[in-house]
Amino acid sequence: MIEIQSRDLENCRHNSGCHGTVYQINDEIAYKIYHEQIFDYDGNRCPNPALINPDKRLDRLKRNGKDLQYSDVWIDKISMNHQFRGLVIPYYNEKSLFEKVDQDYATKIRLAKETVRNTRELTDHFIYPTDLKIFNIMVHNGSVKIADLDDTYTKVLTRSSSILEKQVVLRLNETLLDFFQEYEFASYALYFDSLLQRERSYAEDSYDFTKRYLDEKEKEMHFLIIYPESDIQLIKRALASCPYQVILVYDYFFRDDDYLISLYHSFLEHGIILYDAVYIGCLEDYLHNFHVSSRKEVYQKV
């Protein structure tokens, strides 16, 4: 354990989170200093659980993490005034996945696959980051690093736990949905109404399903863009020529989900299955999250 003074943190670049503040010391290490108190769910101050009897949990994390290839655990413990206050951790020189959502599609697929690989390695070593999220998955020298493994939400066991692994995989799948912005643009009502014909990664809690989800994301997609007033016969002719996925575009910002559902069933009566409904101002951003091979539009009747 190293002893530091508050002056050692002066003029350091830092970023504050819920449980602590991370100070960049140099290009290789950072200090994570835990807050003495945090706010609970009711907004009241309470002791920081990261400072309450941390030794056993952190030592087990160090033991389980010694053979990790893709993730890093803490380097040393930090004391201030001879009391435990935090950890020396690796410094990651790029941004989180949250700040990488606008990368080109091939890069996003690679980063997503690395995230799955790294998460699986952790659970194989009985480390279960049940609070996995887009903000604590970092990129270092172009490669994914899962951070905040010292978080109190990370469970570290001496044996496998199928229950905890399912929790981690569900969080992983939610993280991938966030990374590909699947919640950002789609119509929620249509999204939930079409679950039976569109597999979604949160529907199962296994790594195999997650792999299939990413395999599907890699496939070349052919999109047919239609509008509420588009000609039905023109849509049918287009679908006969190519296996398009049909995107309904609406041009009002405050969507009416009941209206979209009625449109969904109206097109379904003509044998046209909608893949999604997207506000026209978000269409390009939405398509950026797919491997688009071709796209065609059927405009509304004149």
**Of 75-89, 140-154, 248-262, minimum mean pLDDT range:** 248-262
Residue 264 backbone phi and psi in degrees, to 5 = -55, -50
Please identify, among 36, 66, 90, the residue that sits at the C-terminal boundary of a domain: 90
Are residues 237 and 286 both part of a single domain? yes
Q: What percent of the chain has pLDDT over 90?
A: 64
- Both 222 and 287 in one domain: the answer is yes
Residue 227 shares a structural domain with residue 273: yes
User: Is residue 134 assigned to a domain?
Assistant: yes
Please report whether residue 190 resides in a domain: no
pLDDT at residue 193, rounded to an integer: 56
* Total residues belonging to the chain: 302
Judged against a pLDDT cut of 70, whether residue 295 lies above it is answered with yes
**Beta-sheet pairing, 154-156 with 127-129:** antiparallel
pLDDT value, residue 255: 63
Together in a domain, 131 and 205: yes
Are 204 and 266 contained in the same domain?
no
Say if 159 falls within a structural domain. Answer: yes
Short-list 180, 173, 177, 189, CA closest to 278:
189
- Pick the last residue of a domain from 212, 232, 251: 212
Question: Based on the domain organization, do 118 and 206 belong to the same domain?
Answer: yes
Cα 65 to Cα 118: distance, rounded to the nearest angstrom: 12
Mean pLDDT, range 92-114, rounded to an integer: 93
Q: Residue range 277-296: average pLDDT?
A: 90
In a domain, 143, yes or no: yes
194 pLDDT more than 70: no
Q: Say if residue 135 is in the same domain as residue 56.
A: no
Q: How confident is the model over 70-75, as a mean pLDDT?
A: 96
Residue type, 286: Y
Within-domain flag for 85? yes
Condensed to tens digits (0 to 9), the pLDDT of residues 110-137 reads 999 999 999 999 999 999 999 999 999 9
Q: What is the pLDDT of residues 218-232, one digit of tens each?
A: 999 999 999 999 999
Q: Domain holding 208: CATH number?
A: 1.10.510.10
Name the band, by pLDDT with cuts 50, 70 and 90, for residue 195.
Answer: very low
pLDDT mean over 245-250:
92
Same domain, 34 and 49: yes
Q: Is residue 195, in this structure, part of any structural domain at all?
A: no
Please list the residues that pair with 87 across neighbouring strands.
32, 77
Query: Domain boundary residue among 39, 65, 90?
Result: 90
Q: How many domains does the chain have?
A: 3
d(CA 96, CA 135): 6
CATH of the domain at 23: 3.30.200
Domain range enclosing 225: 218-297
CB neighbours of 134 closer than 8 A, spacing ≥ 6?
96, 97, 98, 175, 178, 179
In a domain, 192, yes or no: no
Domain contains 50: yes
Same domain flag for 79 and 134: no
Based on the fold, state whether residues 73 and 134 are members of the same structural domain.
no
Q: What is the mean pLDDT of the chain?
A: 89
- Work out the percent of the chain whose per-residue pLDDT is above 70: 91
- For 147-190, the pLDDT digits (tens) are 999 999 999 999 999 999 999 998 998 899 889 887 676 665 56
Residues 17 and 50 in one domain: yes
